[in-house]
Amino acid sequence: MDFSEDQIRRYARHIILPEMGGVGQAKLLDSRVLVVGAGGLGSPVILYLAAAGVGTIGVVDDDTVDLSNLQRQVLHTTASIGTPKVDSAAQAVAAINPDVKLVPIRARLDKDNIRAIIADYQVVADGSDNFATRFLVNDACWLERKTLVSAAILRFDGQLATYRPGGPCYRCIYREAPPEGAVPTCSSAGVLGAMAGTMGSLQATEVVKELLGMGDTMAGRLLIYDALAVTWRNVRVPRDPGCPLCGDHPTITDLSSHGSTNHACG
């Protein structure tokens, strides 16, 4: 471990944690995480991972900052309206922690580019807002054998899950994407802004835990938060032997069934 004086001060509250220590902090500085979507969930994920000193953070987003984003996407500011979200994210991260390299990937994930993009990273954090992207990211992470930490928010509800190589996977819970328009989105049904902070912060926590192997993994569980009722449910999700991706007789062995996707709102 070769920390500078500044790094020892910056990360003192991590280094003092017995579960983490200098070894864990050094590991974070060497870690590579890909964040899908620099929106509501991506904002706290990127901010906390950057503050924590995760050395390389890739951010995939093809969108620009819109006024309607600012109610929950705390990474961006009024001054950054109209600029690409990946550039706004890079500016915010540079201001927080010079130890962190943000890799801006201004692209829309699709079946042709996603495997090459995620291959460079250890853990993927999905903060996308639509089923097509979530299924694409799930399938690509499975095929590339990457750990996926996935969160979703809508109205006053939040969900969080981790999918590790070996399963269970997202398709063990939701077999396939519902038809377009069948399920409300945050643009059509709304979302309380702070839900993004709650679920995104949990997502950042689970990413750090997966990187360092700390504590109990979320893999095999689904966390369901109801903010209005103030209830948390922790549901066991076993691997489904009939899952088309991670089951005993998989029918999905590549990404050819996926079309083009977007990941805008989060």
192-221 positions binding Zn ion, by CB under 5 A? none
At residue 9, φ and ψ (nearest 5 deg) are -70, -45
| Separation CA 143–CA 35 (nearest Å) | 18
| Separation CA 213–CA 235 (nearest Å) | 21
Q: How far is the CB of 211 from Zn ion (least distance, A)?
A: 23
In the bound state with Zn ion, the residue whose beta carbon lies nearer, of 184 and 250, is 250
Kindly tell me which residue out of 243, 252, 264, 265 binds Zn ion, with binding defined by CB under 5 A.
243
What contacts 13, CB < 8 A, 6 or more positions away?
Answer: none
Q: Are strands 101-105 and 157-163 parallel, antiparallel or unpaired?
A: unpaired
Helix-, strand-, coil-residue percentages of the chain, each rounded to 5 = 35, 20, 45
DSSP state of 99: T
| Binding status of residue 134 toward Zn ion by CB under 5 A | no
Is residue 84 a contact partner of residue 39, using CB atoms and an 8 Å limit? no
Kindly tell me which residue out of 10, 146, 164, 171 binds Zn ion, with binding defined by CB under 5 A.
171
71-90 positions binding Zn ion, by CB under 5 A? none
Q: How far is the CB of 236 from Zn ion (least distance, A)?
A: 14
Q: How far is the CB of 164 from Zn ion (least distance, A)?
A: 11
In the bound state with Zn ion, the residue whose beta carbon lies nearer, of 84 and 165, is 165
Is-catalytic flag, 186? yes
DSSP three-state, residue 102: strand
Smallest CA-to-CA distance from 159 within 233, 217, 210 is with: 233
Q: How many CB atoms lie within 10 A of CB 255?
A: 16
43-72 positions binding Zn ion, by CB under 5 A? none
Kindly tell me which residue out of 52, 86, 149, 169 binds Zn ion, with binding defined by CB under 5 A.
169
Stretch that binds Zn ion, among 13-21, 50-58, 87-95, 172-180 (CB under 5 A): 172-180
Query: What number of chain residues touch Zn ion (CB under 5 A)?
Result: 7
Residues engaged in binding Zn ion (CB under 5 A): 167, 169, 171-172, 243, 245-246
Q: Which residues are known catalytic residues?
A: 186
